Amino acid sequence: MRRHLPVSFALLLTAITLASGDDARYAPAWAGIAPKRIIQHPASDGDSLVRAVAALQPGDQLVLAAGTYRVERMWDIRVSGTAEAPIWIVAADGAAVVLTRSDDRQNVVNIGQGGAVEYLCLRGVEITGGSHGLRLGRCREVWIDRCHIHHTGQVCLSANSADTSRLFLTRNHLHHGGGHGEGMYLGANNGEFIMSESVIALNHIHDCRGSQGDGIEVKQGSWGNLIAENDIHDTQYPCITVYGTAGKPVNIIERNLCRRSDDHTMQVQGEAIVRNNVLISAKGSGFASTDHQGKTVNLQVVHNTIINAGHAFSGGSWNGREGMVLANNVIYSRDQNALHFANGREGVTITGNVIVGHGPKEGTSPGRGLGDFAGLDWDGGKHDATPAPDAPFEKADADYLAETDFSGRPRTGPVSGARVR
């Protein structure tokens, strides 16, 4: 019998209603509300911009003219809209709007550090320099969309200094953060601060090469989040790292393309559904799961394509744990184990997987090699995981069959892996 993990209703609804090619599916419910007043902000100095933002009222849209706005003091945006009248801060169509500062003594932009902020959208701006590029504090219903954040002194975007909920982090381009070097740092260690019921989707994150350098890191205790359709590559730590939820509704991690990590391509502690991801090339394992700030429990890894020269799948803390499922994946290792359970696999459901490599064969059938795909290589330079016409992938267990694939197309048969033909 299939085990269903607890998922928050809002995020479950989002996951069910996905439709390929429609970016609006990841937007907040208030995304289509027209502004009541549009304010054109001419090119000016940073202090003028700070004053203009501070004066915004619910329903206002501030449209920024092209220019470089340098803010040399601590800038904390504290204005809030309402569900019926959000506040919008947006770059003018086609305008290059750059927010920056001359040193890294402060973050370039903070939102909600000094008080709660909600129903606010920041869209289309470039943020560079400073310490953190953008730091979100006490934020709820805040949408960061189509922003370009890069070459910062620390993490590009963080939400780790207060509890946050219903963040929407979409279609952003993040790269070359300094310090620890994360693209996104969400929640805090040991559940000190928690992000919940948020959407992190359609972001392009790369060249995270700091002392750590995760692409997206979601910390222990954060729950009910959807991490979907992100393109993440060339990271020092995993492209995506997600801890556990401490018994709260699970996180959903789906349809992400992750490749070329100096650590593991993806690392998930537990209390998650990991499905329809394409994971290629790591110096560690393609997918890794182990205890860290919490126990590994209730983790479903289904319909992923995992390709790695070393270990492809590693479940170091899966032995004897509740709710552990490895089903309907395509898992290829060139040189080591397709499935690696360093401490055993008692009680783990393993079914419908297609493998190349060493390791246990229970619940698996053999694949042939990279010729089973339209265009993959071991180092992630090619990453089309569409099955070749004769790929031996029709092995999926119907009890764990996902309705759609990596591209949002319906599955018409029991095909293992992230993509269908």
Task: Give the strand pairing for 139-145 and 272-275.
Answer: unpaired
- Give residue-wise pLDDT tens across range 108-152: 999 999 999 999 999 999 999 999 999 999 999 999 999 999 999
Residue 24 pLDDT: 82
CATH for the stretch 35-254: 2.160.20.10
Q: Taking the domains of the chain in order of start, what are their residue ranges?
A: 35-254, 259-421
408 touches 386 (CB < 8 A)? no
| CA gap 379, 309 in Å, rounded | 8
Q: What is the mean pLDDT of each run of 10 residues along the chain (421 residues)?
A: 44 38 82 98 96 98 98 98 98 98 97 97 98 98 98 98 98 97 97 98 96 97 98 98 98 98 98 98 98 95 98 97 98 98 97 97 97 97 96 97 96 96 90
Residue 22 pLDDT: 55
- Give residue-wise pLDDT tens across range 190-249: 999 999 999 999 999 999 998 999 999 999 999 999 999 999 999 999 999 999 999 999
- SS3 for 344? coil
| CA gap 238, 288 in Å, rounded | 9
Element (H, E) at 313: strand 313-315
As beta bridge partners, residue 216 has 184, 240
| CA gap 251, 238 in Å, rounded | 17
Task: Give the strand pairing for 383-387 and 373-376.
Answer: antiparallel
Residue 251 pLDDT: 98
Nearest to 269 by CA among 284, 291, 245, 247: 291
243 touches 272 (CB < 8 A)? no
| CA gap 327, 109 in Å, rounded | 43
Q: Where are the beta strands (DSSP E) in 160-303?
A: 164-170, 173-177, 184-186, 195-196, 199-201, 204-208, 216-218, 226-228, 231-235, 240-242, 251-254, 257-261, 266-268, 272-275, 278-282, 287-289, 299-302
Residue 114 pLDDT: 95
Residue 21 pLDDT: 43
Residue 358 pLDDT: 97
